[in-house]
Structure 1
Amino acid sequence: MDLLDKAKTFVAEKVAEIETPTADVTDVDMKDFSREGITYNAKVSVNNPYSHSIPICQISYTLKCAERDIVSGTIPDPGSLVGNEKTMVEVPVKVPHNVLLNLMKDIGADWDIDYQLDIGLTMNIPVVGNYTIPLSTKGEIKLPSFWDLWKTSGSGET
């Protein structure tokens, strides 16, 4: 039995020493405005330390404003990370207009919303299995002004 315990300990130590991908949220900005809502785009820079590509199983996200979950979702099978490189992954977060109206007290005079965006980037790493990188960022999301709305409707975009 001693040999089995030593083998388990050895394997656990080696697995713990395996280098894993790292990620950072580099930017969150407004991407699109439509009749359904506003889409914000989070850009995540992911560093893959392996020489081969790694599939991303899913990306999960939760946008919080005023200590409340505003919108959450998952993006299944968003692609792969290139080997030995940094890959920029985009996470679109669509917020319906009715949700923004409920946040009017937080918007205030500066026409922005304080937010926290939590992202879970789940990938399948050989030997390790599914591995999730938890990310969190806080900041302010600017809402479109009336000028932005006029530019959008005047250019034929929706």
Structure 2
Amino acid sequence: MELVDKAKNYVSEKIANMKKPEASLNDVDFKKVSHDSVEYLGKVSVNNPYGTPLPICEISYKLKSAGRVIASGTIPDPGSLKANDTTMLDVPVKVPHSVLLSLAKDIGADWDIDYELELGLTIDLPIVGNFTIPLSQKGEIKLPTLSDMFK
């Protein structure tokens, strides 16, 4: 029994100390307006320390403003991370017009909304299995204007 415990501790320690991919949420920008929603784009930078590409299982997201979730979703199987390199990922976040209109009533004249974008980047690591990197960023984004709608 003692040998099994020592083996478990050894494996746990090795897994805890092994290099893992690191990610950062660099920016959130207005992308486009469609007939039913406004799309924002989260830009994520992910560094893969391994000599082999790593599959990304999924990216989940929640966009919050004024204390409530205004958009959420999952992007299944968004590709893989390049080996020994940094991969840039675009995470499109669609917000329905109805939600933006209710926010616009609350914000008044400055046409900016405070937001918090939470992302979960789930990667398939060798030996470990699925590993989720939590990311979040707070800031301000502009609501689209009439001129944005006719571009």
| TM-score normalised by structure 2 residue count | 0.96
Q: For residues 70-103 of structure 1, give each alpha carbon's deviation from its aligned partner in whole angstroms, at most 9, with x where no partner exists.
A: 1100000000000000000010000010011111
Counterpart secondary structure, 1:103: helix
Q: CA deviation at 1:3?
A: 1.1
Aligned residues: 151
Stretches of structure 1 that go unaligned for 5 or more consecutive residues are 153-158
Mapped contact 1:58–1:78 kept (Cα < 8 A): yes
Task: Give the match for residue 136 of structure 2.
Answer: 136
CA-based RMSD: 1.0
Task: Give the match for residue 90 of structure 2.
Answer: 90
Mapped contact 1:60–1:121 kept (Cα < 8 A): yes
Task: Give the match for residue 108 of structure 1.
Answer: 108
> Structure 1 residue 119 and structure 2 residue 99: aligned?
no
Counterpart CA distance in 1 for 2:148 and 2:53 is: 40
Counterpart CA distance in 2 for 1:82 and 1:114 is: 33
Q: CA deviation at 1:146?
A: 2.2
Mapped contact 2:104–2:111 kept (Cα < 8 A): no
Counterpart CA distance in 1 for 2:56 and 2:105 is: 38
Q: CA deviation at 1:107?
A: 2.5
Task: Give the match for residue 28 of structure 1.
Answer: 28
Structure 1 segments of 4 or more deviating over 2 A?
Answer: 104-108, 146-150
Q: CA deviation at 1:148?
A: 2.3
Counterpart CA distance in 2 for 1:70 and 1:23 is: 24
Percent identity over the alignment? Answer: 62
Counterpart CA distance in 1 for 2:37 and 2:6 is: 57
Task: Give the match for residue 4 of structure 1.
Answer: 4
Q: For residues 30-75 of structure 1, give each alpha carbon's deviation from its aligned partner in whole angstroms, at most 9, with x where no partner exists.
A: 1111111100000000000001000000000000000101110000
Counterpart CA distance in 2 for 1:22 and 1:41 is: 20
Deviates more, 1:108-117 or 1:127-136: 108-117
